[in-house]
Amino acid sequence: MNTSTINQIFSKLSKAIPAPKSDLTYINNYTLLVAVVLSAQSTDAQVNKATSDLFKKYDSPEKMVQLGLPGLINYVKSIGLYNAKAKNIISLSEILIEKHNSRVPNDFEMLCELPGVGRKTANVVMSVAFGHATIAVDTHVYRLSRRLNLSIGDTPDKVEMDLMNVVPTKYKKSAHHLLILHGRYTCKARNPLCEICVISKECIHYKNVIYGKIKNIL
């Protein structure tokens, strides 16, 4: 895909979504980190429902450790994989206290060392909390990147690298949220709303569907 088309994609998405931001509800950098850890293989709506009461009382590593694993599980048991996620949150909270003065580190590698934190979670925190130009690849970003032919990578890491290379610098800070929100509400996995999509003219998937070449791409 040429540079002009890529610019058109993100220009149009930026106009359609003028203030892109995470759908997760959080209070500070710590609660953002916890929310993103909880969001793996779960929806933001599910996480927000579970954390609405949790974050009112437990918004720091010290308070979370004091709450303890059984107490945390009571708050998040409606979320998928809650046992493993709760254990990771207690562990990462202890590490933040011991090694980072109870603060979420503004460092990608340090974030990735925390239990339950992979590249996607670290990239979200680096972007949302600290304003870095990172692109986290979740299922929406992965799907849209391939549908739009921004990447042919077959893993999230490969798609991330491709996007970092092709997304124009002016859109790098917002690209993650633009793609997620467009994928969540318009370019859905099973029934994409192509008829109202602002970037259908630039979309390889849409063109292929229109011409009857394929019925679905990821």
Which residues are catalytically annotated? 120, 138
> Tokens at residue 200, please?
């259908």
CA distances from 207 to 38, 55, 109 (A): 36, 45, 40
- b/e string for 148-161 if b means 16 or more Cβ within 10 A? bbbbebeebeebbe
Question: How many other C-beta atoms can be found within 10 angstroms of the C-beta atom of residue 125?
Answer: 26
Closest alpha carbon to 30 in 106, 98, 84, 82 = 106
